[in-house]
């Protein structure tokens, strides 16, 4: 919403500067976005009068002038052909910055004569394009008058954000009311005296749908002359960027901004029959004032006569009934429309008008008729004619319901101590009526909000009004309460685990990414996602149309983007959500990591990053976040993205809690990512929560002083046997003595039959009560061999 300070002063008597007005607006909740002060750059300039102008002794085209200025009489050298005695013009003192020529004035001789300032042309001040001579102003202007005022550009334009609850701020009078309440000045908005009815309107109005158009009021003025509007009115509109058209149209625009009252004027000669608000009919269309033709739908509220649709009520008028210079009889419409329908019609048609903007936010139902009367008065004043009676179709809604208000509520809700008389004074200034509530010992009042404040529905709204005008700067700041006892940390199990996982992976060299929660549907499908329920109905881009089933596709695509820029060997992870469904259980917390490896080069030789490195990092995270490591079972590749032969999973019971390995080449091709690529993914929510214990005490350390000992075994097993099964079998052979089993060699080749492999393990035994005798060690060894044989069919390598 834009307005000028001089327009504001039509409604507010104030001595406040623009800066003070802006500050008061900000603190009253009118968030100023921009102040354009065209007079600011002219601050140094003022009106001066040439007393004498004589030929410069050393230059034909220059004159030496004696000039009366605000700084006294000055000798100024001037090259303008029109510099002459008696001329009233604009003077720039030494030190002034002249915007049109980009120069700061210095006192220096011009052909031997020192010029103590400058007399300015319009171009030099950037006020009009005339560069031929210095400005010639009204001879009556007093010397020293600020240039901005003398040139009529003194008016600052203020642009501010109107919050949706305050459509009354879409009129200058409404702004003035709040500023007056805030103590900036005195509200001077005049009441409306209806113009008497001299004729009976030949045109009748009606509303056929009182939900779409609750009120349709109109007056007809006969015998108008519709020429250009007066200069003051044109200037008001031009200052806020509205093009003056004709007196009738300018009046409607003026009141739209002056009183937040949208109006429409029809050339009554072009109307046929009753003018009615009704819902549109399929197949109807009309040519609007913006030059376009719009099809009408049954959802839209139209204004129509017997010839058909005249316009979209509250949105835009039609060409057929528009006013022109030939208009002699005008029908002035002041109506009320359903905000929601206006919003939908506006959005469907793409029409943004000042009327739509106001109707969709809600206009003051109490000002439908006064607004009509005010418009009629202006038409009579500016265009002449005779006014008809008021025609009001529909029922004017009443003001908001009264609110019973405890005067102490400002203190108990806002923490601001405002005395009761002040509370009532603020409310009165804002247009709220209040009276004591019976039997409440003056602690309680009944507040009647004004008709333009439909946003006020309860006590909290009243508190805001009082606190806002009293000033939020007066709000005390209470220190936050200190802890009086134990406070649980601001964390959840899942969030704590995510924090630890981030540290673990960043410590292992991975860069944490945060990528979109969405991905492309076809990419989602590669990872088992892309279900209909998880598609966005209105994606922002076609490649972001689906909730991701995993962070992996986004990470892999990111790795490729980095590679394409010359930054390969990406090691990326994300600790974030993934979706299997749209209900509350469909979102899970995951840790996903990828590597698009490049052969490693080191002068000592370096192992190629492979799935075992990914498995290590996966297990590093699992261990760090408290997964039950000894309960994890090795399983085959389980996720759709996995290479079937080069990956695995880690399970607790039947649940896959993590998967790792090479990314399937087909998946990479589908993502358009260069292979090979490695990945792992951990489903954090599937891990059991930490066991709740009564204390934080750790179990006592079992420290056995007997020397542990190791024995190596090599088993020949079928190639298909999973090493983890053999290790597990060995481990399980004696749960008291066997402390650890480490697999240290895998061998295929001479000495081992085709289709077989040799797996070598080192078993560490921890004697518990006494040193083990050879026979006892032998017994454990036999149990290991038997257990491995049973589980895997493996036999000791001869």
Partner 1 sequence: MSDLATLEADLSARIVAATDEASLDAIRVDALGKQGAISGLMKTLGTMSPEERQAMGPKLNGLKDRIGEAIVTKKAQLAEAALEAKLAAEKVDASLPPPAVRTGAIHPVSHVMEELARIFGEMGFALEEGPDIETDFHNFTALNFPPKHPARDMHDTFFLNATDEMGQRKVLRTHTSPVQVRTMLKQKPPIRMICMGRTYRKDSDATHTPMFHQIEGLVIDEVTTMADLKGTLMAFIKAYFEIDDVRVRFRPHHFPFTEPSAEMDVGCDRSGGSVRIGTGDDWLEILGCGMVHPNVLRACGLDPEVYQGYAFGMGVDRLATLKYGMPDLRDYFAADVRWLKHYGFSPYLLPGLAGGL
Which residue from 321, 312, 313 is spatially nearest to 337, judged by alpha carbons?
Answer: 313
Nearer to partner 1 among residue 131 and residue 536 (C-beta): 536
The verdict on 538 binding partner 1 (CB under 8 A) reads yes
Please, which of residues 332-391 interact with partner 1 by CB under 8 A? 340, 343-344, 347
The verdict on 442 binding partner 1 (CB under 8 A) reads no
Q: Are strands 308-312 and 301-305 parallel, antiparallel or unpaired?
A: antiparallel
CB burial of residue 215 (10 Å; 0-12, 13-18, 19+) = buried
- With CB under 8 A as the contact rule, the residue among 108, 140, 487, 735 that binds partner 1 is 487
Quote the least distance from Cβ 436 to partner 1, whole Å: 21
Interface characters, 443-472, with partner 1 (x: CB under 8 A): ---------------xxxx-xx--xx---x
Q: At what angle do helices 611-624 and 493-507 cross, to 10 degrees?
A: 140
Please, which of residues 30-59 interact with partner 1 by CB under 8 A? 31
Nearer to partner 1 among residue 515 and residue 781 (C-beta): 515
Cα dihedral 80, 82, 87, 90, rounded to 10, equals: -30
Provide long-range contacts, Cβ within 8 A and 24+ apart, for 654-658: 655/686, 656/683, 656/686, 657/622, 657/627, 657/632, 657/682, 657/683, 657/686, 657/687, 658/618, 658/622, 658/682, 658/683
- Which range touches partner 1 (CB under 8 A), out of 131-139, 270-278, 414-422, 675-683? 414-422
Interface characters, 592-621, with partner 1 (x: CB under 8 A): --------x-xxx-x---------------
Q: At what angle do helices 723-731 and 774-792 cross, to 10 degrees?
A: 140
- Which range touches partner 1 (CB under 8 A), out of 137-145, 303-311, 373-381, 484-492? 484-492
Please, which of residues 546-565 interact with partner 1 by CB under 8 A? 547, 554-555, 558, 561-562, 565
Q: How many CA atoms lie within 13 A of 85 on its CB side?
A: 6
The verdict on 579 binding partner 1 (CB under 8 A) reads yes
Quote the least distance from Cβ 766 to partner 1, whole Å: 33
Quote the least distance from Cβ 552 to partner 1, whole Å: 12
Nearer to partner 1 among residue 199 and residue 613 (C-beta): 613
The verdict on 757 binding partner 1 (CB under 8 A) reads no
- With CB under 8 A as the contact rule, the residue among 139, 488, 701, 720 that binds partner 1 is 488
Per DSSP, the residues of 574-597 read EEEEEES-SSGGGEEEEEEEEE--
Kindly state the number of chain residues that form the binding site for partner 1, as judged by CB under 8 A. 99
The verdict on 26 binding partner 1 (CB under 8 A) reads yes
Please, which of residues 124-163 interact with partner 1 by CB under 8 A? 163
Please, which of residues 159-188 interact with partner 1 by CB under 8 A? 163-166
- With CB under 8 A as the contact rule, the residue among 512, 674, 685, 740 that binds partner 1 is 512
Quote the least distance from Cβ 533 to partner 1, whole Å: 4
Phi, psi of 624 (to 5 degrees): -65, -35
What number of other Cβ atoms are within 10 A of residue 481's Cβ?
6
How far, in Å, CA of 712 to CA of 797, rounded?
11
How far, in Å, CA of 212 to CA of 354, rounded?
19
Quote the least distance from Cβ 480 to partner 1, whole Å: 4
The verdict on 535 binding partner 1 (CB under 8 A) reads yes
Instruction: Tokens for 478, please give them.
Output: 């209470």
The verdict on 404 binding partner 1 (CB under 8 A) reads no
Phi, psi of 81 (to 5 degrees): -65, -25
- With CB under 8 A as the contact rule, the residue among 533, 669, 742, 773 that binds partner 1 is 533
Quote the least distance from Cβ 406 to partner 1, whole Å: 11
- CA distances to 78, 270, 593 from 82, in Å: 10, 54, 80
Which residue from 655, 651, 454, 663 is spatially nearest to 550, judged by alpha carbons?
Answer: 663
**133 neighbors 17 (Cβ within 8 angstroms):** no
Quote the least distance from Cβ 588 to partner 1, whole Å: 10
Instruction: Tokens for 369, please give them.
Output: 């008729």
């Amino acid at each position: 919403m834009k307005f000028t300070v001089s327009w504001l002063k039509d409604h507010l008597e104030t001595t406040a500067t623009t800066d003070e007005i802006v500050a008061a607006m900000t603190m009253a909740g009118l968030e100023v976005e921009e102040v354009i002060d065209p007079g600011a750059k002219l601050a140094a300039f003022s009106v001066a009068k040439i007393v004498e102008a004589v030929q410069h002794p050393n230059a034909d085209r220059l004159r030496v002038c004696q000039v009366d200025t605000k700084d006294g009489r000055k000798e100024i050298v001037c090259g303008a052909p029109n510099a002459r005695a008696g001329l009233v013009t604009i003077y720039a003192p030494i030190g002034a910055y002249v915007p049109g020529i980009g120069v700061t004035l210095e006192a220096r001789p011009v052909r031997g004569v020192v010029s103590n300032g400058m007399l300015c042309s319009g171009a030099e001040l950037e006020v009009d394009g005339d560069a031929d001579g210095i400005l010639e102003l009204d001879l009556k202007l007093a010397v020293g008058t600020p240039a901005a005022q003398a040139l009529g550009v003194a008016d600052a334009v203020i642009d501010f954000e109107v919050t949706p609850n305050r459509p009354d701020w879409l009129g200058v009078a409404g702004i003035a009311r709040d500023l007056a309440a805030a103590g900036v000045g005195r509200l001077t908005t005049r009441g409306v005296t209806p113009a008497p009815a001299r004729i009976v309107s030949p045109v009748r109005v009606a509303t056929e749908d009182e939900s779409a158009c609750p009120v349709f009021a109109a007056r007809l003025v006969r015998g108008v002359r519709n020429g250009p509007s007066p200069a003051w009115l044109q200037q008001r509109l031009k200052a806020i960027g509205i093009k003056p058209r004709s007196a009738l149209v300018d009046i409607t625009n003026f009141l739209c901004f002056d009183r937040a009252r949208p109006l429409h004027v029809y050339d009554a000669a072009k109307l046929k029959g009753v003018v009615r608000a009704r819902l549109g009919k399929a197949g109807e269309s009309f040519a609007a004032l913006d030059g376009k033709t719009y099809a009408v739908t049954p959802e839209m509220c139209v204004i129509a006569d017997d010839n058909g649709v005249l316009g979209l009520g509250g949105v835009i008028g039609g060409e057929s009934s528009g006013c022109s210079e030939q208009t002699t009889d005008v029908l002035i419409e002041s109506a009320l429309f359903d905000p929601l329908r206006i919003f939908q019609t506006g959005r469907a048609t793409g029409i943004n008008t000042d009327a739509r903007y106001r109707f969709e936010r809600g206009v003051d139902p109490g000002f439908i008729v006064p607004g009509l009367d005010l418009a009629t008065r202006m038409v009579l004043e500016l265009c002449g004619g005779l006014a008809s009676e008021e025609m009001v179709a529909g029922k004017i809604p009443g003001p908001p319901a009264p609110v019973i208000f405890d005067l102490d509520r400002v203190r108990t809700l806002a923490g601001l101590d405002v005395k009761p008389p002040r509370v009532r004074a603020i409310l009165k200034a804002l247009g709220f009526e209040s009276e004591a509530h019976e039997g409440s010992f003056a602690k309680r009042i009944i507040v009647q909000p004004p008709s333009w404040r439909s946003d006020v529905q309860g006590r909290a709204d009243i508190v805001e009004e009082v606190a806002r005008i009293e000033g939020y700067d007066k709000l005390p700041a209470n220190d936050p309460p200190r802890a009086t006892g134990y406070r649980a940390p601001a964390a959840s199990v899942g969030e704590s685990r995510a924090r630890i996982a981030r540290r673990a992976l960043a410590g292992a060299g991975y860069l944490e990414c945060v990528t979109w929660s969405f991905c492309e549907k076809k990419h989602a499908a590669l990872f088992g996602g892309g279900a209909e329920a998880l598609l966005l109905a209105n994606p922002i881009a076609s490649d972001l149309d689906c909730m991701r089933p995993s962070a992996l596709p986004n990470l892999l695509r990111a790795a490729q983007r980095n590679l394409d820029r010359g930054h390969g060997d990406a090691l990326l992870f994300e600790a974030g959500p993934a979706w299997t469904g749209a209900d509350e259980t469909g979102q899970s917390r995951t840790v996903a990591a990828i590597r698009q490896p490049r052969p490693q080069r080191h002068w000592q030789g370096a192992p190629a990053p492979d799935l075992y490195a990914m498995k290590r990092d996966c297990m590093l995270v699992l261990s760090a976040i408290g997964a039950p490591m000894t309960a994890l079972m090795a399983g085959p590749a389980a996720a759709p993205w996995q290479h079937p032969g080069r990956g695995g999973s880690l399970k607790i019971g039947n649940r896959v809690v993590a998967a790792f390995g090479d990314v399937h080449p087909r998946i990479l091709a589908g993502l358009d990512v260069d292979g090979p690529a490695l990945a792992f993914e951990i489903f954090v929510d599937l891990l059991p929560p930490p066991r709740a214990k009564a204390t934080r005490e750790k179990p006592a350390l079992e420290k056995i002083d007997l020397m542990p000992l190791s024995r190596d075994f090599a088993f020949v097993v079928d190639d298909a046997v999973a090493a983890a099964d053999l290790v597990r079998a060995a481990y399980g052979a004696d749960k008291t003595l066997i402390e650890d089993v480490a697999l240290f060699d895998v061998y295929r080749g001479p000495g081992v039959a085709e289709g077989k492999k040799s797996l070598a393990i080192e078993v560490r035994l921890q004697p518990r009560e006494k040193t083990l005798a050879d026979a006892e060690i032998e017994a454990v060894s036999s149990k290991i061999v038997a257990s491995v044989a049973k589980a895997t069919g493996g036999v000791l390598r001869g």
